[in-house]
Structure 1
Amino acid sequence: MIRIGMSSTCAYPLPLEDSFRLAGQAGYDGVEIMVTRDEATQDAAALVALSERYDLPILSIHAPVLLLTHFVWGRDPRVKLEKSAELAARVGAGTVVVHPPFRWQAGYAEDFLDIVRELAASTGLQIAVENMFPWKIGGRGVKAYSPGWDTTLMDCSSVTLDFSHCALSGHDSLAMATALGERLRHVHLCDGSGSLDEGRVFDEHLLPGQGSEPVAEVLALLAAARWDGAVVAEVNTRAAKTEPERLAMLADTLAFARIHTREL
């Protein structure tokens, strides 16, 4: 069976322990930790303690690559990635998720794919580069990422597929999964309703089945291939007004994943 995990971002803005608690109550197989300014997300001992308390393995570590985490572990993006790999090794996670660099991160951007390959080789971890999306400012395209946002064009051995980002980029996720083949090693389970070209500018992270991406078809493709990566829910639950409502959203996401990753 494909492991179905839950990202700590699903419980935002609740404290980190709530992510473990909600993941356990909903029935997930493990968690992904987004490293943020919350010191608990950076502390291997604290993470291991939570993992043991809730009997949930840590499947993956998401490097602090968001603009909101600019100063986490300093300002050098290479150091951030290396520290993420160190943290993953200490908590028993096999995967580090990282975004392509911003174009203005000049030296790091130029060496990014070499850094990813070298780090994967030296640690034995999967450094899974996540697909992103083109930016538009004032209706004009802006090259925000380097070497780019499309991971199908990158020379890296491990990729994370994010459905919401596919929707924003106008990139069909089933075509992307097929093109990636064995390089697809990690999935962020969510959905999106349309591309930037259609006037949508928000990275929605809808519950699967609520958008326009062929999420069920991609999961079925992976199940048929006896894929051994992890599918990690990364859905936006901030609209939930109560904890039972949030928990129901997480349980629905898990049920969708279980149904469509069932090996026939």
Structure 2
Amino acid sequence: MTQIGMGTTSVLPRRLRDAFRLAAEAGFDGVEVMITSDRDTHDAARLAALSQEYGMPVLSIHAPVLLFSSYVFGRNPLVKLRRSVALAEAVGATTVVAHPPYRWQRRSAERFVETVRQLSRQTGMRIAVENMFPVTRGGIEHDPFAPSWNPGALAVDALTLDFSHAGMSGRSAADLAQEWGSRLQHVHLCDAASTRPGGTLRDEHLVPGRGAQPVAEVLRALAGSGFAGHIIAEINTRACGRDDDQRVAWLRETVEFARSHALVRH
């Protein structure tokens, strides 16, 4: 059964407790926890306590891959992934979201696919590799990720589709979803202003329906295919500042958008 969750990144710079509270208030089914330098995000006991307090299960764990979490769980991306899987097991999550390593992390990149497949077999955890994006310098496109920014090119079983990253890559999320087929098993729900070649270098994470990506089309197609993964709202609410009324309004708009399209069976 598809569950509609909220990513804790949707309420940054608010704290973890706020994320669980706002997810419950906005009507989500659960949360995806992004592991950051905030120690609470990698404390299984703390996550379990918040989950019980707000009735919000931890659906998925996002490995610490962003620049502000460079030293969380060590420097090695594969060690970070293993520890993220262990945390997911401890809190009852069924999915771990991972990014491909950066190209300069050559040794980890060479072993990334093998490690993902091995961990999945050993633990039964769904490790869903997320689409990233190329960058263009001087009119030449470069891929900063290895083996590829497009996880559809990798021999892994589960993929995460991020609509904002699709916009940055100049691709339609509908094209990526069709290309990936049944391997698309996790969604980061948001929108992006661009689908043109070259995309945009702004990782916008707009409220779905406010951009140019075919978000409703993709969700309806997934519903028709019997998709049973998680759909996680990952929108940028920094413009809300400390105005939680506005933030909750955006979150409710997002969850209502998801339910109106993703839960309709054809």
TM-score by length of 1: 0.97
Comparing 14-23 and 146-155, the one that deviates more? 146-155
Match of 2:26 in 1: 26
Match of 1:244 in 2: 245
TM-score by length of 2: 0.96
1:99 to 1:196, Cα distance in 2 relative to 1, 3 A = farther
Any residues of structure 2 matched to 1:103-252 within 5 Å, and which? 103-194=103-194, 197=197, 200-241=200-241, 242-252=243-253
Instruction: Give the deviation of 1:263 after TM superposition.
Output: 2.3
CA RMSD of aligned residues (A): 1.3
Secondary structure of the residue that 1:201 maps to in structure 2?
A: coil
1:74 to 1:55, Cα distance in 2 relative to 1, 3 A = same
Instruction: Give the deviation of 1:240 after TM superposition.
Output: 1.1
Secondary structure of the residue that 2:19 maps to in structure 1?
A: helix
Match of 1:97 in 2: 97
Secondary structure of the residue that 2:239 maps to in structure 1?
A: coil
1:128 to 1:198, Cα distance in 2 relative to 1, 3 A = closer
CA deviation string 1:4-43 (max 9, x = no partner)? 0000000100010000000000000000000000000010
Q: Distance in 2 between matches of 1:238 and 1:49?
A: 26
Instruction: Give the deviation of 1:204 after TM superposition.
Output: 0.4
Secondary structure of the residue that 2:240 maps to in structure 1?
A: coil
Secondary structure of the residue that 1:239 maps to in structure 2?
A: helix
Secondary structure of the residue that 1:227 maps to in structure 2?
A: coil
Secondary structure of the residue that 1:96 maps to in structure 2?
A: strand
Q: Distance in 2 between matches of 1:15 and 1:262?
A: 30
Comparing 15-24 and 196-205, the one that deviates more? 196-205
CA deviation string 1:79-126 (max 9, x = no partner)? 110000000000000000000110011110011100100010011001
How many pairs align? 264
**One-letter amino acid of the structure 2 residue matched with residue 39 of structure 1:** R
Instruction: Give the deviation of 1:198 after TM superposition.
Output: 5.3
Instruction: Give the deviation of 1:195 after TM superposition.
Output: 5.1
Unaligned runs of 5+ residues in structure 2 are: none
Unaligned runs of 5+ residues in structure 1 are: none
Match of 2:49 in 1: 49
1:201 to 1:188, Cα distance in 2 relative to 1, 3 A = same
**Structure 1 moving runs of 4+ over 4 Å:** 195-199
Instruction: Give the deviation of 1:196 after TM superposition.
Output: 7.6
Comparing 6-15 and 74-83, the one that deviates more? 74-83
Q: Distance in 2 between matches of 1:199 and 1:133?
A: 9
Comparing 113-122 and 199-208, the one that deviates more? 199-208
Q: Distance in 2 between matches of 1:49 and 1:199?
A: 41
Contact map agreement 2:191 2:204 (CA 8 A) in 1? yes
Secondary structure of the residue that 1:206 maps to in structure 2?
A: coil
Secondary structure of the residue that 1:61 maps to in structure 2?
A: strand
Match of 1:75 in 2: 75
**One-letter amino acid of the structure 2 residue matched with residue 166 of structure 1:** A
